[in-house]
């Protein structure tokens, strides 16, 4: 992938790296196991209110300090991480802006908060245990800079297109928010009679966000020179973050009723559907039998 070919400068990035952060309160998350459990609950989630506190994030201290100095001097960040996020955000917002425009609707671009350790957001405290998420209350995606290295170690290997998939998935939640789909799902969840039923609504929402991420990939595949190897990166990630796989790695027991994001196979399927068609209308995960998803 040649992400530097994508447009930049309009990503709406809030650089909060090197800030003091917000100390993680609540339950301490111990190591990888704890992180995995947090991820099962939170991975790519839309509502971080259930964030487990703790998390480390102390490893990036040196980098944070120099960035804090940059910030203090008012120097705009030029590092690769920042540039990357900016281009993916600019590009996803452009693609969706175009889609909305064609449909005669207005699109408000999503913004992205890049932070280390922890930060206060419209949906509460974000920290490294939360994983990337979208907050519908302030229209911002929150990403901890240590997330991508964790992904590389634990979740399917990473790579720039894999990271793009994560960001595009979060922007997919923003699109759902703009379309009123997120509200509908929330209402449905509130009136659900069982937890399993509420979880099913969540799975539909998450798989649609995967599909939307694929749609973005399709629309930029020539410009960003996305190769077969890049596609494989995203697929490996989708596989790694399937609920069945995370549960197998975490508690070791797979409970489909507790899935909130979909199985590995479903996540791959919906990302691929979006990527192959480039058509958001093909991402209707709501008008399908749940067992056929």
Q: Which residues bind Zn ion (CB under 5 A)?
A: 44, 206, 209
CA distance 64 to 171: 26
CA distance 3 to 35: 29
**C-beta of 29 vs 185, nearer to Zn ion:** 185
**C-beta of 159 vs 262, nearer to Zn ion:** 262
Q: Give the nearest distance from C-beta 187 to Zn ion in angstroms.
A: 18
- Helix/strand/coil (H/E/C) assignment for every residue in 23-43: CCCCCCCCHHHHHHHHHHHHC
**C-beta of 35 vs 182, nearer to Zn ion:** 182
Q: In what order do the strands lie in the sheet with 140-144?
A: 13-16, 111-115, 140-144, 133-135
Q: Give the nearest distance from C-beta 262 to Zn ion in angstroms.
A: 10
Q: Give the nearest distance from C-beta 174 to Zn ion in angstroms.
A: 11
- How many helices (H) and strands (E) would you count in the chain? 10, 6
Tokens of 189: 């969840």
Q: Please identify the residue of the shown chain whose CB is closest to the bound Zn ion.
A: 44
CA distance 234 to 230: 7
**C-beta of 206 vs 243, nearer to Zn ion:** 206
Q: Give the nearest distance from C-beta 134 to Zn ion in angstroms.
A: 7
CA distance 293 to 283: 11
Q: What is residue 260's DSSP assignment?
A: S
Per DSSP (E only), the strands in 25-158 are 111-115, 118-121, 124-127, 133-135, 140-144
Q: Give the nearest distance from C-beta 214 to Zn ion in angstroms.
A: 14
Contact call for residues 141 and 126 (beta carbons, < 8 A): no
Q: Give the nearest distance from C-beta 104 to Zn ion in angstroms.
A: 27
**C-beta of 52 vs 238, nearer to Zn ion:** 238
**C-beta of 44 vs 216, nearer to Zn ion:** 44
């Amino acid at each position: 992938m040649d992400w530097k070919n994508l447009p930049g400068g309009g990503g709406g990035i809030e650089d909060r790296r090197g800030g003091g952060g917000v100390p993680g309160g609540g339950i301490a998350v111990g190591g990888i196991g704890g992180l995995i459990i947090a991820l099962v609950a939170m991975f790519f989630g839309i509502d971080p209110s259930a964030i487990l506190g703790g998390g480390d994030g102390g490893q990036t201290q040196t980098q944070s300090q120099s960035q804090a100095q940059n910030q203090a001097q008012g120097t705009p960040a030029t590092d690769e991480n920042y540039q990357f996020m900016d281009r993916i955000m600019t590009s996803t917002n452009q693609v969706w802006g175009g889609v909305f425009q064609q449909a005669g609707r207005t699109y408000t671009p999503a913004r992205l908060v890049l932070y280390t350790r922890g930060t206060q957001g419209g949906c509460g405290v974000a920290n490294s245990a939360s994983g990337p998420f979208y907050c519908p209350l302030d229209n911002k995606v929150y990403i901890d800079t240590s997330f991508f290295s964790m992904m590389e170690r634990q979740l399917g290997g990473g790579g720039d297109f894999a990271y793009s998939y994560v960001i595009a998935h979060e922007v997919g939640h923003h699109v759902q928010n703009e379309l009123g789909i997120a509200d509908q799902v929330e209402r449905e969840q509130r009136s659900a009679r069982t937890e399993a039923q509420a979880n099913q609504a969540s799975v539909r929402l998450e798989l649609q966000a995967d599909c939307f991420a694929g749609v973005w990939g399709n629309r930029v595949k020539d410009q960003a020179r996305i190769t077969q190897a890049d596609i494989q990166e995203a697929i490996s990630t989708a596989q790694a973050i399937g609920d069945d796989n995370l549960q197998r790695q975490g508690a070791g027991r797979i409970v489909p009723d507790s899935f909130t994001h979909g199985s590995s196979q479903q996540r791959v399927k919906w990302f691929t559907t979006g990527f192959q068609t480039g058509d958001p209308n093909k991402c209707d995960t709501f008008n399908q039998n749940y067992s056929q998803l």
